Amino acid sequence: MIPDGPRIAPADAAAITDAAALLRSGQLVAFPTETVYGLGADAGSEAAVAAIFEAKGRPRFNPLIVHVPDIEAAARLIQVDERARALAERFWPGPLTLVLPRRADSRLSLLVSAGLDTVAVRAPDHPVARALLEACGLPVAAPSANASGRISPTTAADVAMDLGDRVAMVLDGGPCRVGIESTVLDLSGPRPALLRPGGVPEEALIPLVGPLAASGADGGPVRSPGMLRRHYAPARPLRLNALSAQPGEALLGFGPGFEGAALTLSPTGDLIEAAANLFAMLRALDRAPGYRALAIAPIPARGLGCAINDRLRRAATPETEDDDWNDRGPAAPCVLPSIEEEPES
Ligand code: TXA
Ligand code: MG
């Protein structure tokens, strides 16, 4: 155990019971999901949800995903329609988040959706996450358990390194299987809109809901502020589509031909393996001694490759002034949240 760090507990039955009690008393617990580790809090408690923003050091409020065991639990929080039922039937539990109008009687925190009249909900497919949801009996708000602007954590050690004692407990369920966050699909508008590519590929959604509108395509505000550039940034500069390393660069390979790379997302070119390795390897290369920058091999733009490329593009975009979601500045004050209208890249 790290002195002054959080309690990292192997996720056995006793630890899950303790974690559930912590959640019910308004504290923060980090837990594994199949995508990435989540920083969980009681989604019905404004104070607990505010503590999430505080712990992450988010400069502004960003709506969070509410985790539930199943579609029945979701239907108590949001207005579930036919499409949502069909999607949940097919993909839940799993890495698909649905954004739908909040129910007036949901008793969810307002902060959890950052003042929006919609709520993002998903049922995670990880035995520890599911056991925790059952044990606490609460909808659990959980963003990825990284400090704001940092890479999403896929191990308990990543969480402890980022959040230290700002989290009461970290349930250790080993490395995350999917390794990339959930797909976020907005079903609140006239046409379903893909707000964030993720663990369920876009192609898999279309047969169930028809063609997807691009986020903000209707000229409206960006509906998923978590999609802003550099949301997933390593500290070192990142060069994309690299076939070899330049001096000072750590090369992250993909597929055959990258045997000399510092690390390889998947030696055989398997996109699922690559997604699962992505954040952990970016973190490892970001802190490996002797390098100034990262370079990454081309990733094919199909299936999970789209989500991987999306994360990489954000990570590679130099910081700009109109892009401060990843401020390392002081935590957001607990005032009524507002969503800023910012252009999406
Ligand atoms: O895989 C995941 O989704 C992980 C695990 C822990 O479940 N969670 C996660 O949460 O990635 P977070 O907070 O890092 O990302 C939530 C995303 C953001 O892009 C946010 O803007 C979007 O969902 N979102 C949440 N509520 C929304 C809403 N009401 N309308 C539009 N976008 C929303
Ligand atoms: Mg995140």
Phi, psi of 201 (to 5 degrees): -65, 145
> Could you say which DSSP state residue 164 is in?
G
Probe residue for ligand 1, chosen from 34, 224, 340 as the CB with the greatest number of ligand atoms within 8 Å: 224
pLDDT, position 272? 80
The rounded distance, in Å, linking the Cα atoms of 103 and 126 is: 27
Ligand 1 and 38: CB distance under 6 A: yes
H or E stretch including 274? helix 271-287
Ligand 1 and 227: CB distance under 6 A: yes
Probe residue for ligand 1, chosen from 112, 117, 125, 144 as the CB with the greatest number of ligand atoms within 8 Å: 144
Q: How many CA atoms lie within 13 A of 280 on its CB side?
A: 22
Contacts of 152 by beta carbon, 8 Å cutoff, 6+ apart: 36, 37, 144, 145, 146, 180, 181, 232, 279
pLDDT tens per residue, range 253-301: 999 999 999 999 999 999 888 887 887 789 899 999 999 999 999 999 8
pLDDT, position 59? 56
Ligand 1 and 166: CB distance under 6 A: no
pLDDT tens per residue, range 166-199: 999 999 999 999 999 999 999 998 899 999 999 9
Nearest-atom number in ligand 1 for the CA of 120 is 26
Cα of 320 vs centre of ligand 1, distance in Å, is 22
Cα of 93 vs centre of ligand 2, distance in Å, is 19
Q: Is 247 helix (H, G, I), strand (E, B) or coil?
A: coil
Contacts of 192 by beta carbon, 8 Å cutoff, 6+ apart: 83, 185, 186, 205, 209, 210, 212, 213
Residues of the chain with pLDDT under 70: 1-4, 58-61, 214-232, 318-345
Residue 172 backbone zone (phi > 0: left; psi -120 to 50: alpha; other: beta): beta
Nearest-atom number in ligand 1 for the CA of 223 is 31
Quick one: 94 exposed, middle or buried, by C-beta within 10 A (0-12, 13-18, 19+)?
buried
pLDDT, position 232? 56
